Amino acid sequence: MPIASTMQDRPLLISGILEHGRRIYPDSRVITVGADGAVESTYAQVAARAAQLAHALRGVGVVEGDRVATFCWNHQAHLEAYLGVSAMGAVMHTLNIRLFPGQLAFCVNHAEDKVILIDASLIPLLGKVASELTTVEHVVVVGGDGECGPAALAPLEAIPGATIHRYEAFLEGHPSTYDWPELDERAAASMAYTSGTTGDPKGVVYSHRSTCLHALGICLGSVAALTERDRVLSVVPMFHANAWGLAYAAWWCGADHLLPGPFLQPEPLVRAIERHRPTVAGAVPSIWTGVLHYCSAQGADLSSFRLVLCGGSAVPESLMRRFEEELGVHIVQAWGMTETSPVGTVARAPRGVSEAESWSYRVSQGRVVQGVEMRVVADDGAALPWDGQSVGELEIRGPWVTGRYYRVEAPERFDDGWLRTGDVGTIDARGYVRITDRSKDVIKSGGEWISSVDLENALMGHPDVFEAAVIGVHDAKWEERPLACVVAAEGKEPTPASMRAFLSDKVARWWLPERWTFVDEIPKTSVGKFDKKLLRERYEAGALDVVEVATG
């Protein structure tokens, strides 16, 4: 007969993360980069302000379960909201500042946000949809004191019936401690919406339990191995999948936070890295591509890094190799989704392999991390073997993976308790995932599949190429063929002939694109991925200058 355990049953809560950091690491630092230098605070000071924020929100009628949105860059006040909003029992809703106006209004209204915390610099963006926001009762403006006058605040007055507050005045006079409630660990702690590349964005609601477990997963040695000796540079936006969980994980283990605010361009980022010496960072490949080109031209010391996490889209091998060879920085690729909190795999090479062999693992999306499960599924729904060859849709499940969307029925995205990722790929016997494409982006040419991801990665290894995206376009003979969309590196003029020659020993000959277009930039989605939908629309509208080469 089974027996009951003797373990205490204490809930996993954001307030537990907050209080642990406050009590155990009161002197750890939160550093926000500004236009005129950096502002530093201790954990003890940030925790006190998080408590003041909770009191202030309670004072304007926010109760457990109410949604409090943030429309902010990465900075200390945003971190205070991360901690205080959820710890008091409200639900923090991070609004993506890169959404189209219609999508932004949809997310606010669909989530029924009661309060919005907004950076003064972002007021014009919210102002575009202010009159459409039907549930917002209070708007709290962060920063801009002394610079942001009545005229700058005027767009917010179009929000029907909303009261406008200044953040510092909003907090002033409130107690610096809070009697955090003991909540159900499965209650909602925060929420985010997918980028909405097809249809309306879909809401994912994270629980206290899922967030805590995900933060613990980030701290593990096989992921980021965080400790209080680290200083974490969160370039990944705090409005994107909870900053990949880095905000919670770093606070829980007492690591310093380095927050770049709106200064995400290569020059200010490199200056911040050289001045503040972070040991860990997280950002999408386009950020690190820009940093690499800046460092190559100007020189820089990035030697403080022991680990750079990179994800959001496939990380080119050439980018990782150049960072390692030229700057001594080790990039580790990770994969995840808004729906997975987001970390699902991390590409560290297994033990026992040579340096040369390790690269085949590092360029994969990574090994399935502790706490989640993955599988490959064929078109008929059958689970495929982990042999590194069988290609199908990747599915995932686990305690920090969503089981449904908020107030939206989407049965096509779920399969008997598994989340269908929409990614196509393989899993090998060691648990390494290799994504060959998004299901909507695979190119079927003459009945055979071409991986746009592999082509892009190969193209971005060309020394004259800054970025490249590949889409499938109609072909009278082969049904579909790849169109390579290329951004040249500064001062370079790559040609289709030179790039086809470069690719010739890297991919199958029949993969080589006949169609090429050179663009000033690759459009990005709100989360920094290549916007291939927009590229396809531009191609079909004749808005791309396409060069077609003879193949002989």
* Domain coordinates in residue numbering, the chain: 14-26+42-213, 368-439, 443-548
SS (H, E, C) 242-307: HHHHHHHHHHHHCCEEEECECCCCHHHHHHHHHHHCCCEEEECHHHHHHHHHHHHHHCCCCCCCCE
Task: Tell me: pLDDT of 474 over 60.
Answer: yes
Residue 180 annotated in active site? no
Q: How far apart are CA 426 and CA 375, in angstroms?
A: 9
For 55-75, what is the mean pLDDT?
98
Q: How many residues does the chain have?
A: 552
For 485-494, what is the mean pLDDT?
94
For 505-517, what is the mean pLDDT?
90
For 506-526, what is the mean pLDDT?
90
Q: What is the pLDDT of residue 76?
A: 98
Residues 6+ apart with CB under 8 A from 253: 219, 226, 227, 228, 230
% of the chain residues with pLDDT over 70: 99
As given in the structure block, the two tokens for residue 328 are 């001594």
Q: How far apart are CA 407 and CA 387, in angstroms?
A: 38
**Residues paired with 41 in a beta bridge:** 30
SS (H, E, C) 224-240: CCCCCCCEEEECCCCCC
Cis peptide before 342 (omega within 30 of 0): yes
Provide the whole-model pTM: 0.87
Please state which CATH number belongs to domain 14-26+42-213: 3.40.50.12780
Contact 207, 232 (CB under 8 A): no
Q: What is the pLDDT of residue 447?
A: 65
Residue 449 annotated in active site? yes
Chain centre to alpha carbon of residue 35: 24
Q: How far apart are CA 320 and CA 506, in angstroms?
A: 17
Q: State the maximum Cα–Cα separation within the chain, in Å, rounded to a whole number.
A: 77
Out of 197, 228, 317, 449, pick the active-site residue.
449
For 274-281, what is the mean pLDDT?
98
Task: Tell me: pLDDT of 494 over 90.
Answer: yes
Task: Tell me: pLDDT of 444 over 80.
Answer: no
Superfamily classification of domain 368-439: Luciferase; Domain 3 (2.30.38.10)
12-26, 69-83, 440-454 — which is least confidently predicted? Answer: 440-454
Residue whose C-alpha is closest to residue 450's, from 422, 474, 481:
481
Give backbone dihedrals phi and psi of 119, rounded to 5 degrees, phi first: -70, 140
Task: Tell me: pLDDT of 197 over 60.
Answer: no
Q: How far apart are CA 238 and CA 260, in angstroms?
A: 11
Residue whose C-alpha is closest to residue 124's, from 71, 188, 63:
71
Out of 32, 70, 94, 194, pick the active-site residue.
194
Instruction: Give Cα separations from 154 to 131, 141, 157, 159, 162 (angstroms).
Output: 12, 12, 5, 10, 12
Q: How far apart are CA 428 and CA 361, in angstroms?
A: 10
Out of 64, 324, 440, 444, pick the active-site residue.
444
Computed over every residue of the chain, the mean pLDDT equals 94
Task: Tell me: pLDDT of 107 over 60.
Answer: yes
86-100, 445-459, 500-514 — which is least confidently predicted? Answer: 445-459
Q: Given the DSSP bridges, would you call strands 67-71 and 113-119 parallel, antiparallel or unpaired?
A: parallel
Q: How far apart are CA 254 and CA 139, in angstroms?
A: 31
Q: What is the pLDDT of residue 526?
A: 76
Residues 6+ apart with CB under 8 A from 72: 78, 81, 117, 118, 119, 122, 142, 238, 239
Helices (H) and strands (E) counted in the chain, each on its own, are 16, 28
pLDDT band at residue 312, thresholds of 50, 70 and 90?
confident
Out of 185, 252, 288, 339, pick the active-site residue.
339
Q: What is the pLDDT of residue 147?
A: 77
For 328-333, what is the mean pLDDT?
97
Residue 440 annotated in active site? no
Q: What is the pLDDT of residue 206?
A: 98
Task: Tell me: pLDDT of 178 over 60.
Answer: yes
Please name the helix (run of DSSP H) or strand (run of DSSP E) that holds residue 113, with its range, or none: strand 113-119
Please state which CATH number belongs to domain 443-548: 3.30.300.30
Instruction: Give Cα separations from 284 to 243, 288, 363, 423, 498 (angstroms).
Output: 11, 7, 15, 18, 28
As given in the structure block, the two tokens for residue 456 are 């892009």
Task: Tell me: pLDDT of 552 over 60.
Answer: no
Q: How far apart are CA 246 and CA 231, in angstroms?
A: 11
Buried b (16+ CB within 10 A) or exposed e, 265-287: ebeebbebbeebbbbbbbbbbbb
Please name the helix (run of DSSP H) or strand (run of DSSP E) that holds residue 22, with its range, or none: helix 14-24
Please name the helix (run of DSSP H) or strand (run of DSSP E) that holds residue 500, with its range, or none: helix 496-503
Task: Tell me: pLDDT of 443 over 90.
Answer: no
For 502-513, what is the mean pLDDT?
88
For 12-27, what is the mean pLDDT?
98
Predicted confidence (pLDDT) per residue in 32-41, tens digit: 999 889 999 9
Looking at per-residue pLDDT, the higher value among 284 and 171 belongs to: 171
Residue 279 annotated in active site? no
Strands (E), 290-379: 307-310, 331-336, 343-346, 366-368, 373-377
Residue whose C-alpha is closest to residue 462's, from 315, 326, 319:
319
Q: What is the pLDDT of residue 475?
A: 87
pLDDT band at residue 196, thresholds of 50, 70 and 90?
low
Q: How far apart are CA 125 and CA 177, in angstroms?
A: 34
Q: What is the DSSP letter of 323?
A: I
